[in-house]
Amino acid sequence: KAGVTQTPRYLIKTRGQQVTLSCSPISGHRSVSWYQQTPGQGLQFLFEYFSETQRNKGNFPGRFSGRQFSNSRSEMNVSTLELGDSALYLCASSFDATNEKLFFGSGTQLSVL
Amino acid sequence: GNSVTQMEGPVTLSEEAFLTINCTYTATGYPSLFWYVQYPGEGLQLLLKATKADDKGSNKGFEATYRKETTSFHLEKGSVQVSDSAVYFCALDVYNQGGKLIFGQGTELSVKP
């Protein structure tokens, strides 16, 4: 059974650009959540989607957005990139609406120059 | 608000030493508690969990007991191996409705042969 797949693995952008990250959950999983990981702030929750609906959102500015498709794949978008957006972005999927078992991808390392 | 506090790292131990990583939490209601592990270059993996007071989670020789009276969920292992070198995250889930886990800062463990 394939795990959670995130693409691309590495990304380099410049300030002001926008970026789209992709996450393919484990087959059959309907919940996808996104986290930002930085050395200073640790792991912070961005948002969570279940059956194409955003159910939870963390305390991030509106430049951070996401969506989920009917096949449960998810994308997150960051517009007008800032240096502070440099981070490892992790996606996690689970079968149902609980946190009983989250499966994480290896992440997308975003560097903003 | 809800938060998780972990002991600071890095923690350096010799192989076969006893491991304790402290984790305390602040939460409203009755959270579920988790330990996740992150190996270099990888995403997080669920190590163990406990969903109610006095529950003991265990996996791969690691254990943690949910102590409501001390709001703690300390991770222990009787004999660590070099392969246990990783970053360990304590996390809580208050909402139990998917996605939104609150993580501690992480504790880096290095085990020397």
Please state, for a pLDDT cut of 70, what percent of chain B lies above it.
96
Whether A107 shows a pLDDT value over 90: the answer reads yes
Look over chain A and give the mean of its residue pLDDT values, rounded to a whole number: 93
Whether B99 shows a pLDDT value over 70: the answer reads no
Nearest to A90 among B32, B43, B96 (CB): B43
* Tokens found for residue A90: 């992790």
Whether the Cβ atoms of residue B91 and residue B102 lie closer than 8 Å to each other: yes
* Tokens found for residue B38: 């992150």
Say how far apart CA B50 and CA B53 lie, in whole Å.
Answer: 8
Flag if B46 and A102 touch (Cβ within 8 Å). yes
**Is residue A51 less than 8 Å (CB to CB) from chain B?**
no
Measured CA to CA in angstroms, residue B107 lies from B21, B72, B88, B92 at distances of: 8, 15, 5, 16
Least confident piece of the model among A78-82, A99-103, B97-101: B97-101
For range A33-61, the mean pLDDT: 92
Flag if A50 and B32 touch (Cβ within 8 Å). no
Closest CA to B44 of A11, A86, A90: A90
For range A31-50, the mean pLDDT: 92
Whether the Cβ atoms of residue A30 and residue A72 lie closer than 8 Å to each other: yes
Closest CA to A10 of B7, B102, B41: B41
Q: SS in 3 state form for chain B? A: CCEEEECCCCEEEECCCCEEECEEEECCCCCEEEEEEECCCCCEEEEEEECCCCCEEEECCEEEECECCCCECCEEECCCCHHHCEEEEEEEECCCCCCCCEECCCEEEEEEC
pLDDT for A2: 75
Flag if B99 and A45 touch (Cβ within 8 Å). yes
pLDDT in tens, B23-43: 999 988 888 999 999 998 888
For range A44-56, the mean pLDDT: 92
Whether B83 shows a pLDDT value over 80: the answer reads yes
Please state, for a pLDDT cut of 70, what percent of chain A lies above it.
96
pLDDT for B97: 55
Look over chain B and give the mean of its residue pLDDT values, rounded to a whole number: 92
